Structure 1
Amino acid sequence: MSWPKVGILLASLAIEIAVISWSAFDPLLKLGAPITDVRGITFAFSNMDVWLLSVAKSCLLCLLLAPGRMKTLPPGTPDSKKGWQLRLKAVSWLPSIYELLLIAKAAGVAVLSPEALYPAWTEGEDAGHPFVGLLAMYAGICAGLCMSVIESWCALGLIIALPPSRTSSEARESQQAEGITTDGEFAGAGKERDKRNGEGDDAALRAPLLEAAEEGRGEGPGARKAGANGVGRSVSGKGNGKDKEEDAKKGVQSKTVWHLLQLSMPDWPIITVAFLFGIAAALMQAVIPYYTGLVIDYASIEPDRQQFKATILKLVYVAAACGVLSGGRGGLFTVAMSKLNVRIRKTLFAALVKMEVAFFDVSKTGEITSRLSADTSTVSDQVCLNLNVLLRAATQAAMVLGFMFAASWRLTVITFILVPCVMFISKVYGRYFASLAKNVQSELAAANSVADEVISSMTTVKAHAAQDSANAAYANKLERFFSLLIKEAIVYALYMCINTFLPAFVAAVVLLYGGTLVLAHAMSPGALVSFMLYQQSLSSAFQMMGDVFSALTAAVGAADKVLELIHRKPDIPPEGTLVPASFEGRIDLRDVHFSYPARPDSLVLKGLSMSVAPGEVVALVGSSGGGKSSIVKLLERYYVPQMGEVLMDGRDIGVYDPKWLKRKVALVSQEPVLYARSIRRNIIYGLEPEDGVEPPSQAEIESAARQANAHDFITSFPDGYDTDCGEKGVSLSGGQKQRIAIARALVRNPQVLLLDEATSALDADSEAVVQEALDSVMGGNGVPRTVILIAHRLSTVQNADRVVVVGNGRVQESGSHQELLDGGGVYASLVRRQITHKTPSVTSLAAGSAGASISAHPSRASLRG
């Protein structure tokens, strides 16, 4: 329970009861009126009805918030959850109904009550009635309204903080019913899960955007622990999905506005000047009806030609000043909007590049790019644009209300009933529209994801003639998106109907009562005209607030998703800062257990242990899916193991400075990625001045290219090293891209080199050229280098110092090529299998040992691993 909110709630209730009791009883006691007299509780002459309302509301609120009532039913039962939802609705609606009744009381006092400010006995038709006075009347009403807003906020916070939850035994029974089991190797799952679920705001910020991702992570074993640095991770079961989503929505919505303000803080000088311009423009706007009323009086009621012309001239000056100030305000807010747009994009992109690889495994690229493109624009444009309009309307309304009170406080109170009506309707509408807008953004992101998937693999689509099914999949997503847009349009139309009718209705009431005052000579015709113009200006201001409300809620819905990504913490432990004076390149994996976040139920490595000495060349072979590539990914720290240690030079790789480590450990993957930049910049990728390092010299770049057997073809291009590679290296062949990737690894002069099937995707000619480069690299060229390679070519495996056979998540065999062949184990079986089942890339095998034949053409012999 949030005790600060309890304290605020009790304090506000006490203040409300105290002020309303004073306003109801003190004046009557001073007048000597009997409190039990029926005349003392009439609608227009006392606050006894307000006091009764306040007491009834306070008692109901306390009953709804009584903690003991939550324990009447077992936690987690349907009746318990239904009761909690009913109480949540009651706490939400009770203050609103109370506030509307107080507003009705205020309007009645304005029409029916006399002018006396404090206790008096009324005269005339109401002679003999004790009148507590306008000061006491409105003091009690205002206290009730202000305290009710505070009480509503506290009460909702307390109810939301105490949702019905399942007991741990019920949770376990639910998991068993859903078929979720816990791997025996991962004990203590419940405690880890409870700890993770208790993380609060961080977990809340992560959950709703990536519902599919989180649910995918939540289908595995109960908990998983990190390795050497002892950082724990856990994955909750399926049953927590909805609860996590609800908790996330509550946490994000309560923080979204604050986070947006934080992002806007660097522009506070511009926003401040724009706000001052807005105040001045609103003042000018409010003065226009005043001068208009004077013009009417000077033209008809009290004719005065000189004053008439002077007032017209003042009216023109005021209108011109209003236009200049409004333009300045709009321009400054547009500048702030542009700066916020760029800042949000930079912040989001910086957050994305810090995410762990597992995040991208379970998140669709289309959804992420939709956040980066569409949602960031929605946030900056809609928030700033509508904040501009909202501030202008609010300032205009405040200024106009001041002039209206000066003209006629009674008419102003009657008009002011528009404010709570609009707020009440906006509150109900906003709750529904916010969730609807969020669903619209989600469906649009899903549609963009389908389009991105198809467009990025168009050759595959055309190769399989799948255009029709692609169109159908995209159309299906757009249909769901369109249905939500239609629902959104209907809701908005209903809201606008009500919001447009209310100002006209209030204007009619004001004219009725104002005309009565004019006929009674209590108000001049010019003053009534000015007041009606004020009333129209006020209605326009509140209508603008209503218009921007839906846009702001949509922007906040998009902001929720953006902020979820910005504030999401990577699941892997924080990176270290260690930069040792020396680095030998010793590698150790000790009892490593690992499963991918996208497939948490399937362990890829099951207690794998292996060591690689400095300068040793180790070849990893084995059947597909055995865990070879996973070892490389763990060494690159794309992931962290659930159990075990991944060490380099006796230290966990997580303690090293990541930028330093990537210069010492280089990777050449099976499908290298080049970027739409020059060959030179692709080779020094990650070593540019923006990366905070001294870029390699041209001589170092050319030396790396020569080692990679790439210098000759690079210099054959007209632009040489300045040749543009095109998007994803489309201008180059597969072999050329692979050799540039090797040069990119070598230019770092790494101590450890990881080769993940670097030639498997190449044709025979390209493979031979690239293999020559790899042989040269592994030879070291005089530089001792630790090499771990995953290869299918037998000649490469033969040249390795040691062969490690990886299968079923464990090391099955380890030794030299000849030792393993002589042993007749798994490795020898792999060789024999390739002899029996020849592939196009395996032409023949010639004798090696242990009865196996080794190819007469070793450059083409292969060992599929």
Structure 2
Amino acid sequence: MGTGAAVAAALFWEITIPDADEAASEKKSKQKSRVLFMRVLRLFRPDLPLLLEDWSSCHWLCYKSDLSYSNLLMVCVLKGEMFIPFYTGKVIDILGNHYQANEFSMAVIFMGLFSLGGSVCAGGRGGLLLCAVGSFTCRIKLKLFETLTKQEIGFFETIKTGEITSRLSKDTKSMGMTVCLNVNVLLRTFVKTVGMISLMMSLSWKLTFLVLMETPVAGVIQNVYDTYYQRLSLAVQDAMAHANDAANEVVSNIHVVRSFNAEKHEANRYDQRLKTIHDLKTRRDTVRAIYLLVRRVTGLVMQVLMLYYGRLFIQRGQMTAGNLVSFIIYQSDLGDNIRTLTYIFGDMLNSVGAAGKVFEYLDRKPEVSTEGTLAPDQLQGHIQFSQVNFAYPSCPAKTVLQDLTLELKPGQMTALVGTSGEGKSTCASLLQRFYEPQSGEILFNKEPLKSYEHHFLHKKIVVVSQEPVLFSGSVKDNISYGLKDCTDKDIEEAARKANAHDFILQLEKGYDTDVGEGGGQLAKSERQRIAIARALVRQPQVLILDEITSALDDDSEKKVQQALAQCPNQTLLVIAHRLKTIERADQIIVIGKGKVQERGTHQELMDKKGHYYRQRTKLFTNEPSQ
């Protein structure tokens, strides 16, 4: 009656009395948590057939059968756990009344069998569930990684590396572990609780109703605890992400830290982040400690009441001493199970805090679309910038390009010149569709750049940067990076054009030599030539060279220029400061303040004696003209 009255009062309160603003906010947060939790369960869909499949489905593959066997194991576990207290009471009654050896032996044998079988099945089922968690974690990590790699470059400039790695390494694991194990515990505990209540009712229905009166009290305590604990758990996750970000930033830029003698400063900054984490964890653990204290006090009060009324029932002959012992054991387990049920509901909502962070990335649509479909068989390297305006996402108030209009003609070499920060490299980034201009249009072969299929575009427009990036692996892997149908002949031909073939053969394993992390096993000029080979093997229609000759000697540069000259239909966009490179250009475009200030050949611009002429000594090296 007490439980029914409490439920009715809760429903009346929920329906008739409106929530305060803070309460409404908390309620909305919990509803969002429930939605997230259901999304996580849907991600477990490949494993759900394994959990629900009948044990007879032996024709399934091994990994698809693990959790169907775990269902069978769960039944064995629950039977063993539920009947042990029952036989314990029978043993006590046999010993207390008329001892019969056969009944005593059978009761002890059944207790041993149930205990042994339950232990073995529990261990087997736990192991199989951990395998399922591992499978889910790998799957969600891959899904998140694929989503991250599809985001635009501006996303990575505004999001810290530490936060991304934290989502990949910790939050994905937390999603799989807490949600899957909580569902497992919830199902097992619910079935076990129903079975225990039925057995307790058979022993004494009066004591059973007395014990169940604890349920609404435990529910209220759990609800209050969940509200505060979830809020603090989310704060801890954010603080840990910030601490990881600070550590990654220092490690990746340690030479700058050392150069400015800022080791102590960075240590103090990291210490502040750790203190924040410690304070939040202390508050969270304090809330948990208070919750455990209150929960155990209520359990103790209920045990005292149960013993008091149990003694009265024994005196009145309504139950035996053995029945009371069995009931006490059941009550102890039942109390833990009910508290577990109420705790699991809250913990499942708490666990999706990490899932919410992951889903933010999974749901994010790239601002630079990659849904183009155009991939013509015949293509000329004709590029047009038409009144392009652009500002970087990380600094939207600063306009880098203003009404920029220029043209790159097929088969010609165009050089962009100007002081640093005027927009030269930005033009190259926009051609690769790293960003989307705020206004204006970029045309490739008279079609909008965004209309082209993503992979096709990046095979036709290739850039070689001043600081080339190589990946761990062999020289061959780096030259053919991202290509599936690249032959050894194509790789060697591209290496010859980039003047890299000779030095590659001198390496220990030739083209199979490992370049090390970031290409650290090679000199800068060697990395540059491999990067040029990586670009040339794609046979691009538009090749962007961003100060690539800075690390090459004169002989290597000359050979690279000769190789590039062998591609008459290829459009070259050169961003360079070396005078002899720029002077050979068919067109030189001077960019200043995000606009085209001058254009023409080297001699035409020198004759004008304008920006190009005045800034020549500032923009270029003092090398003699060729």
- Report the equivalent of 1:810: 595
- In structure 2, the residue matched to 1:84 is 21
Counterpart residue number, 1:132: none
In structure 1, how many angstroms separate the alpha carbons of the residues matched to 2:185 and 2:9?
37
Larger radius of gyration: 1
Per mean C-alpha deviation after superposition, the further-off stretch among 553-562 and 342-351 is 553-562
The CA distance in 1 between the partners of 2:9 and 2:266, in whole Å, is 62
Amino acid at match of 2:173: S
Shift of 1:506: 1.4
Judging changes above 3 Å, is the alpha-carbon distance between structure 1 residues 310 and 264 closer, same or farther for their aligned structure 2 residues?
A: same
Residue 256 (1) aligns with residue 14 (2): no
- Which residue of structure 2 lines up, in the alignment, with residue 716 of structure 1? 506
Q: Measured at CA, do residues 783 and 382 of structure 1 come closer, stay the same or move farther in structure 2, by a change above 3 Å?
A: same
When structure 1 is superposed on structure 2, of 449-458 and 249-258 the one drifting more is 249-258
Find the aligned partners of 2:556 and 2:367 in 1 and give their Cα distance. 37
Q: Which residue of 2 aligns with 1:701?
A: 491
Q: Summarize the Cα distance change of 1:506–1:307 in structure 2 as closer, same or farther, 3 Å threshold.
A: same
Alpha-carbon distance change, 406 to 685 in structure 1, aligned in 2, over 3 angstroms? same
2:65 aligned partner:
none
SS of residue paired to 1:266: coil
- For 2:51, give the aligned amino acid: I
The 1:417–1:768 alpha-carbon spacing in structure 2 relative to 1, beyond 3 Å, is farther
Confirm or deny that 1:576 pairs with 2:362.
no
Q: Would you say the 8 A contact 1:499–1:546 is kept in 2?
A: no
> For the Cα contact (< 8 Å) 1:270–1:333, is it kept in 2?
no
Cα deviation code 1:760-798 (max 9, x no counterpart)? 4x3xxx35355324422441x144201111111121111
- Residue identity matched to 1:685: Y
- Are the structure 2 counterparts of residues 493 and 782 from structure 1 closer, same or farther at C-alpha, using a change threshold of 3 Å? closer
Amino acid at match of 1:256: L
* Corresponding pairs, count: 609
1:360 is matched with which residue: 149, 156, 163? 156
- 477 and 770 in structure 1: CA distance in 2 versus 1, 3 angstrom threshold: farther
Q: Which residue of 1 aligns with 2:329?
A: 533
Q: 1:376 to 1:288 in 2, by over 3 A?
A: same
Partner of 1:796: 581
Aligned to 1:522, what secondary structure does the other structure show?
coil
Residues 479, 491 of structure 2: 8 Å contact kept: yes
In structure 2, the partner of 1:775 is: 561
CA distance in 1, matches of 2:494, 2:412: 21
- SS of match in other structure, 2:377: coil
Q: Name the structure 1 match of 2:537.
A: 747
Matches of 1:276 and 1:429 in 2, distance apart?
A: 35
Q: 1:452 to 1:645 in 2, by over 3 A?
A: same
User: Pick from 258, 275, 278: which aligns with 1:482?
Assistant: 278
Of 516, 529, 535 in structure 2, the residue corresponding to residue 726 of structure 1 is 516
Q: CA deviation at 1:312?
A: 1.6
Counterpart for residue 735 of structure 1: 525
State the match for 1:423 in structure 2.
Answer: 219
Give the corresponding residue for 1:374: 170
Call closer, same or farther: CA 1:250–1:360 in 2, change over 3 Å.
Answer: farther
- Residue deviations 1:531-564, cap 9 Å, x none? 1111011123245456767765553222221222
What's the offset of the Cα at 1:418? 2.8
Partner of 1:827: 612
Q: State the partner residue of 2:55.
A: none
What is the CA distance between 1:470 and its match in structure 2?
Answer: 1.9
Deviation of 1:364 after TM superposition, in Å, equals 1.0
Query: What whole-Å deviation, never above 9, does each CA across 1:27-61 have from its counterpart, x for those lacking one?
Result: xxxxxxxxxxxxxxxx99xx9x8999699x36x84
How far apart are 1:598 and its partner, in Å? 0.4
Is the partner of 1:265 in helix, strand or coil? coil
Of 532, 547, 571, 1:786 maps to 571
What's 2:18 paired with?
64
- What amino acid maps onto 1:743 in structure 2? A
1:758 to 548, 552, 574: 548
Displacement of 1:460: 2.8
**8 Å CA contact retained: 1:430, 1:549:** no
Instruction: Show the counterpart of 2:397.
Output: 601
- Identity among equivalent positions (%) equals 36
Deviations 1:165-197 (A, max 9, x none): xxxxxxxxxxxxxxxxxxxxxxxxxxxxxxxxx
Mapped to 1, the partners of 2:10 and 2:495 lie a distance apart of 83
Q: 1:494 to 1:596 in 2, by over 3 A?
A: same
Distance 2:297 2:31 in 1: 36
Deviations 1:134-160 (A, max 9, x none): xxxxxxxxxxxxxxxxxxxxxx5xxx5
Tell which deviates more after alignment, 706-715 or 288-297: 288-297
Q: Secondary structure at the match of 1:64?
A: coil
> 1:680 — aligned with what?
476
Residue 63 of structure 1: CA displacement? Answer: 5.9
Q: 2:320 aligns with which of 517, 520, 524?
A: 524
Query: Normalising by the residue count of structure 2, what TM-score does the alignment of the two structures yield?
Result: 0.91
Instruction: State the shift of 1:667 in Å.
Output: 0.8
Judged with a 3 Å threshold, the aligned counterparts in structure 2 of structure 1 residues 52 and 739 are, in CA distance, closer, same or farther, namely closer
Which is bigger in relative contact order (C-alpha 8 A, separation at least 6)?
A: 2
Asked whether the equivalents of residues 735 and 770 of structure 1 are also in contact (C-alpha less than 8 Å), the reply is no
Residues 358, 597 of structure 1: 8 Å contact kept:
yes
Q: Which runs of 5 or more residues in structure 1 are unaligned?
A: 1-42, 66-82, 93-155, 161-248, 688-692, 844-854, 859-865
Equivalent of 1:499 in 287, 295, 306: 295
Following TM superposition, by how much is the alpha carbon of 1:654 offset from its aligned partner in structure 2, in angstroms?
A: 1.6
CA distance in 1: counterparts of 2:141 and 2:8, whole angstroms: 54
- Write the letter of the residue equivalent to 1:84: D
Return the letter of the residue paired with 2:39: H
**Contact 2:6–2:216, Cα closer than 8 Å, also in 1:** no
The alignment partner of 2:407 has SS state of: strand
Alpha-carbon distance between aligned partners in 1 of 2:235 and 2:142, rounded to the nearest angstrom: 25
Amino acid of the residue matched to residue 22 of structure 2? Q
- SS of the equivalent of 2:46 reads helix
Amino acid across the alignment from 2:557: Q
Q: Give 1:447's aligned residue.
A: 243
Alpha-carbon separation, structure 1, partners of 2:418 and 2:7: 83
> CA deviation digits over 1:589-617, x for unaligned, max 9?
11111111101111111111112122121
Q: 1:496 to 1:54 in 2, by over 3 A?
A: closer
Cα offset, 1:520, TM superposition: 1.8
Q: CA deviation at 1:464?
A: 3.0
Tell me which amino acid in the other structure corresponds to 2:537: V
Which residue matches 2:256? Answer: 460
Distance in structure 1 (CA, Å) of the matches to 2:31 and 2:418: 48
CA 1:770–1:559: 2 relative to 1, 3 Å: farther
Q: Which residue of 1 aligns with 2:117?
A: 321
* Offset from partner CA, 1:640-690 (integer Å, 9 cap, x none): 111111111111222211111111111101211101111110111111xxx
Contact in 2 for aligned 1:593/1:608 (Cα 8 Å): yes
Write out per-residue CA displacement over residues 448-494 of structure 1, whole angstroms, 9 at most, x where no aligned residue. Answer: 11111111222333333322122112111111111111111111111
The answer (yes or no) to whether the contact 1:393–1:541 under 8 Å persists in 2 is yes
Distance 1:429 1:777, change over 3 A: farther
Distance 1:420 1:269 in 2: 35
Give the whole-Å Cα distance in 1 for the aligned partners of 2:427 and 2:349.
Answer: 47
Contact 1:284 1:322 in 2 (8 A): yes
1:634 shift after superposition: 0.8
Contact 2:163 2:241 in 1 (8 A): yes
Deviations 1:320-374 (A, max 9, x none): 2212221221121111111112112111111111111111001111111121112
Higher mean C-alpha displacement, 748-757 vs 459-468: 459-468
- Preserved contact between residue 275 and residue 391 of structure 1 (Cα < 8 Å): no
Is the CA contact (8 Å cut-off) linking 2:222 and 2:343 kept in structure 1? no
Separation of aligned partners in 2, 1:54 and 1:793: 79
Match of 1:614 in 2: 410
Q: Offset of 1:376 from its aligned partner?
A: 2.2
Check the 8 A contact 2:226/2:347 in 1, yes or no. Answer: no
Q: Structure 1-normalised TM-score?
A: 0.67
540-549 vs 501-510, which deviates more?
Answer: 540-549
